[in-house]
Structure formats: C-alpha cells, structure tokens
Homo-oligomer: A and B are copies of this chain.
Amino acid sequence: MARKTEAILTSARTLFLERGYDATTLDDVAAASNVAKTTVYNNFRDKEHLFSEVIESITARSTVILAALEEPLFSDSPVEDRLIEFGNRLVTGVLQPSVIQLRRLAIAEAPRFPELVTRFWSHGPGRTTELLARALREADSRGELRVPDPNAAALVLAYTLLGAALDRALMVQGAHMSPSDITAHVDHSVAAFLRAYAR
C-alpha cells in the first residue's frame, strides 16, 4: 500500500525535475509508476498536493546532504584546508544536474507555491550559510581568522564560491565545469577570502 505511494512519489519527482510543473502530466506520472491514474488520486488529493509532497520530501532529505558539508568544516586541519574541502564539496554538490534542476523548479514555481519554496530555501541554501557562519565564528574564537560578523562573512564566502557557477548553470544549458575548473575556482575564492579575513 505504502509501496505505491513511494513509487508515485519517486517517479513524480523525476518527472517534475525533468519537465517542470506544467509539463508534467498525471497520466505520465501514473504510467511511470506502473500504477493506474486512479491510484495516484487515491494517494494524493490533486496535482498541487502531489507536487508539494515531492518538494517536502526533498526538503526533508536536505538535512542529510548538509551533513556531508558539515564534516570537513569542523575537522582539526588548518582553516585553509577546511574551507577548501568545504568549498569543493559545496560547489560540486550544487552543480550536480539534479540539484540544478531542483533549483530551477523551485525558482520557476516560487510564485505559485510561495510558502513551500520558502521552506525549501530555509532548509537548503539558508541552512548552508548558517552552518558556515557557525564554523567561521568558531575560527574567529580560536584566533584563526578575524571575523567580526560571521553571518555576513559566510554570505561572502558561500556566494563567492558558487554564485557565478550557479547563475551560469541555471541559464546556460550544458555549461559544465570540470573538476579542475572547480578546484581552481575554489582555491582562488578561499585564498581571497583568507586575505580578506586574516587575523
């Protein structure tokens, strides 16, 4: 019983991410889930509710993804190494095609599902900079950096790292960065950040 619900949710996620909200048909969702359309309606009130649950389920999982970013941030290696490792994971993560698709979807449907997308933002991008701010505050108190305003500094570093790549990936199809492009960019960004916030 719950297996069907799960199957529907999974294929709905794939289809919504690939085609967007309007272009995704509930007939397609049913077919992709090997389920009758009626079953879709037995498990979800309507298309909007299905979409909401898809996004909510992704939002819920984002906590897990953030853990992978948190780890290098609070290790005992030098600040520079910590930030570079964090930067590499952040950029490679955010540039993954499915993540780009998700962002595109969220942005496109923000006017139609304001609260939903806001909640998604808070649990994803929002949390990331909070995390970084905490790490920077700690680095400051350890005397590794001089960061009087950790929140502002976290925004600076986070968006220095992925602003350009993100903006481009969202609009320019097939604008992939090679791993070496990424490390070069991360190195440059972290170096600039360290110069700006050195003790």
Contacts and interface: CB of A to CB of B under 8 A. Distances in A.
Given A120-B171, A171-B107, A192 B197 contact: yes
A177 to B, nearest CB: 12
Report copies per complex: 2
B156 A117 contact: no
Nearest to A153: B192
Interface residues of A, number: 43
A106 B193 contact: no
B162 A118 contact: no
Contacts of A188: 149, 152, 156
A108 interface: yes
Interface in A151-178: 152-153, 155-156, 158-160, 162-164, 166-168, 170-174
B173 A111 contact: yes
Contacts of A114: 173-174
A170 B111 contact: no
Interface in A41-97: none
A196 interface: yes
A129 interface: yes
Contacts of A162: 163
B111 A108 contact: no
B108 A20 contact: yes
Interface centre among A114, A117, A118, A159 (most CB of B within 10 A): A159
A110 interface: yes
Interface of A: 20, 22-23, 104, 106-108, 110-111, 114, 117-118, 120-121, 125, 129, 149, 152-153, 155-156, 158-160, 162-164, 166-168, 170-174, 185, 188-189, 192-193, 195-197
Q: 9 smallest A-B Cβ distances: which pairs? A: A159-B163, A163-B163, A108-B108, A196-B196, A192-B196, A114-B173, A195-B196, A22-B22, A155-B164
